[in-house]
């Protein structure tokens, strides 16, 4: 067990030493490459003023970028190797701890017998073989990485030498190109300077011309704006005045409409009042006619039954009529014609002619009773077709809409009476 542990320790130490040695070598190579790159950068900075061609600058920048990429790759590889070394150290520490634990277990289990010790030894030997194989694989991996790093470093050195040769050739070409191109460039610079001066002068002239045009345009726009503002103010004043006039006309028209409406309402109310009054008068007249016909019917019944003669006046029948008998006369067909004329005018004269028709019909169909006018005595007719005096009408109290018919009705009645007296 002691030999095995010693071998394991030696292998781990050799592995660590080898990895560290390779890491140091890779670090030294990287530092050497960095110094070379710095020297190259210094040389490039020194020769920067000589390299004014765009193509050469582009190539140099491309070389720098490529070299920096390679440097980054190498640094990544170095970092990966360092990580692998750290992992291997951590693995060794873990394994060492495990070995110590196993050793403690073995010491504790030695009291249980030789059989258990043999099994433990076999397990440890198997584990040792596994760890040895793992260490061998890690060593092979490290050797491969180291070889690849060395090979890549050699290639990069070759590339650096090639780039240095290209740089020298390009520097020579640049020197010859500068010797050939500088005179032409100076001539071009003089020409371009003259063109720039001329362009500057023309630009100043055009700027002054455009500024003058701008000032004129601003003045014209200001004048136009002022004129438009004045016109707008005038139009607004006109519109305001016309609006005020229109409002006044509207108010006057509104007042007139209100006055007309008030007059119309008053007229409508007066019309309704007149219609109500007329309807009342019609109803009153109808009632009076009904009373008159009723009283006349009673008088006729009394006459036919052979009772005493009825001596009364038309005031008892509520009819404002005066009947006078001057002489006896016989009525014929002309009287009937007069009655027909009265029937024809019944609708025109209204209630007044209705009363007249009733009076004439009463005179024709019944023995007329007379009232003394001027001291004459009333007498009774001996026949239903005889009249003893002329008939005249007193004034009726009629409503205002038919007052105009009163005089014409009186005139018509006088003519009928004269006609009846003449034909008798």
- Rounded-to-integer distance, Cα 287 and Cα 279, Å: 12
Confidence at residue 249, expressed as pLDDT on a 0 to 100 scale? 92
Confidence at residue 332, expressed as pLDDT on a 0 to 100 scale? 36
**Domain containing residue 354:** 309-423
- Rounded-to-integer distance, Cα 113 and Cα 306, Å: 182
The pLDDT tens digits for 274-320 are 999 999 999 998 998 888 888 888 888 888 886 444 333 333 333 33
- Rounded-to-integer distance, Cα 197 and Cα 202, Å: 9
Q: Are residues 191 and 43 in the same domain?
A: yes
Q: Are residues 323 and 188 in the same domain?
A: no
Min mean pLDDT across 57-71, 204-218, 402-416 is at: 402-416
On the question of pLDDT at 211 being above 70, the answer is yes
The pLDDT tens digits for 156-166 are 888 888 888 88
Residue 6 within a domain: yes
Residue with the larger pLDDT of the pair 188 and 389: 188
Please compute the mean of the pLDDT values over residues 171-194 and round it to a whole number: 78
Residue 247 within a domain: no
Confidence at residue 49, expressed as pLDDT on a 0 to 100 scale? 55
Q: Six-digit token pair at 232? A: 């707008």
Residue 66 within a domain: yes
Boundary of a domain, candidates 196, 216, 241: 196
Confidence at residue 67, expressed as pLDDT on a 0 to 100 scale? 74
Residue 361 within a domain: yes
Task: State the pLDDT confidence band at 344, using cuts at 50, 70 and 90.
Answer: very low
- Rounded-to-integer distance, Cα 247 and Cα 241, Å: 10
On the question of pLDDT at 225 being above 60, the answer is yes
Min mean pLDDT across 76-85, 148-157, 373-382 is at: 373-382
In this structure, are residues 319 and 295 in contact, taking their beta carbons and an 8 Å threshold? no
Residue 31 within a domain: yes
pTM: 0.24
Confidence at residue 368, expressed as pLDDT on a 0 to 100 scale? 35
Min mean pLDDT across 144-148, 277-281, 358-362, 399-403 is at: 399-403
Please compute the mean of the pLDDT values over residues 354-381 and round it to a whole number: 39
Residue with the larger pLDDT of the pair 12 and 365: 12
Confidence at residue 273, expressed as pLDDT on a 0 to 100 scale? 92
In this structure, are residues 22 and 84 in contact, taking their beta carbons and an 8 Å threshold? no
Confidence at residue 239, expressed as pLDDT on a 0 to 100 scale? 92
The mean of the pLDDT values for the chain is 69
- Rounded-to-integer distance, Cα 31 and Cα 27, Å: 6
Q: Are residues 145 and 22 in the same domain?
A: yes
Confidence at residue 329, expressed as pLDDT on a 0 to 100 scale? 35
Confidence at residue 366, expressed as pLDDT on a 0 to 100 scale? 38
Boundary of a domain, candidates 172, 196, 220: 196
Q: Are residues 189 and 323 in the same domain?
A: no
Most confident listed range (46-50, 173-177, 247-251)? 247-251
Rg, the chain, Cα only: 77
Confidence at residue 337, expressed as pLDDT on a 0 to 100 scale? 40
Q: Are residues 49 and 192 in the same domain?
A: yes
Boundary of a domain, candidates 162, 196, 230: 196
Q: Over the range 37-63, which residues count as b (16 or more CB within 10 Å of their CB) and which as e?
A: eeebeeeeeeeeeebeeeebeebbeeb
How many domains is the chain built from? 2
Confidence at residue 270, expressed as pLDDT on a 0 to 100 scale? 92
Confidence at residue 336, expressed as pLDDT on a 0 to 100 scale? 37
């Amino acid at each position: 067990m002691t030999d095995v542990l010693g071998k394991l320790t030696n292998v781990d130490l050799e592995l660590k030493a080898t990895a560290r040695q390779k890491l140091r070598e890779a670090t030294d190579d990287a530092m050497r490459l960095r110094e070379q790159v710095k020297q190259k950068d210094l040389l490039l900075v020194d020769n920067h003023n000589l390299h004014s061609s765009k193509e050469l600058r582009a190539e140099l920048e491309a070389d720098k970028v490529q070299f920096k990429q390679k440097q980054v790759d190498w640094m990544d590889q170095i970092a990966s190797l360092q990580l692998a070394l750290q992992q291997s150290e951590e693995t060794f520490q873990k394994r060492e701890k495990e070995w110590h634990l196993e050793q403690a277990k073995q010491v504790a289990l030695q009291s249980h017998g030789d059989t258990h010790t043999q099994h433990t030894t076999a397990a440890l030997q198997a584990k040792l073989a596994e760890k040895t194989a793992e260490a061998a694989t890690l060593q092979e991996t490290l050797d491969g990485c180291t070889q690849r790093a060395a090979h890549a470093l050699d290639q990069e050195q070759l590339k650096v030498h090639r780039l240095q040769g290209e740089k020298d050739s390009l520097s020579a070409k640049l020197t010859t190109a500068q010797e050939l191109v500088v005179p032409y460039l100076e001539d071009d610079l003089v020409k371009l300077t003259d063109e720039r001066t001329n362009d500057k002068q023309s630009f100043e002239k055009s700027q002054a011309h455009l500024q003058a045009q701008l000032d004129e345009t601003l003045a014209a726009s200001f004048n136009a704006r002022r004129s438009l503002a004045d016109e707008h103010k005038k139009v607004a004043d006109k519109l305001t005045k016309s609006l005020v006039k229109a409002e006044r006309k509207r108010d006057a028209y509104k007042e007139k409409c209100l006055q007309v409406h008030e007059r119309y309402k008053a007229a409508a109310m007066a019309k309704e009042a007149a219609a109500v009054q007329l309807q009342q008068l019609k109803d009153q007249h109808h009632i009076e006619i009904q009373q008159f016909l009723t009283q006349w019917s009673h008088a006729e019944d009394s006459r036919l039954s052979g009772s005493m003669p009825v001596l009364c006046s038309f005031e008892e029948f509520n009819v404002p009529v005066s009947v006078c008998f001057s002489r006896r006369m016989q009525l014929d067909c002309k009287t009937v014609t007069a009655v027909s004329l009265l029937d024809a005018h019944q609708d025109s004269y209204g209630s007044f002619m209705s009363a007249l028709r009733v009076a004439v019909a009463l005179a024709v169909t019944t023995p007329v009773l007379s009232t003394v006018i001027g001291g004459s005595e009333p007498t009774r007719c001996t026949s239903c077709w005889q009249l003893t005096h002329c008939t005249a009408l007193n004034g009726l109290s009629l409503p205002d809409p038919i007052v105009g018919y009163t005089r014409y009705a009186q005139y018509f009645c006088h003519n009928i009476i004269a006609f009846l007296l003449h034909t008798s």
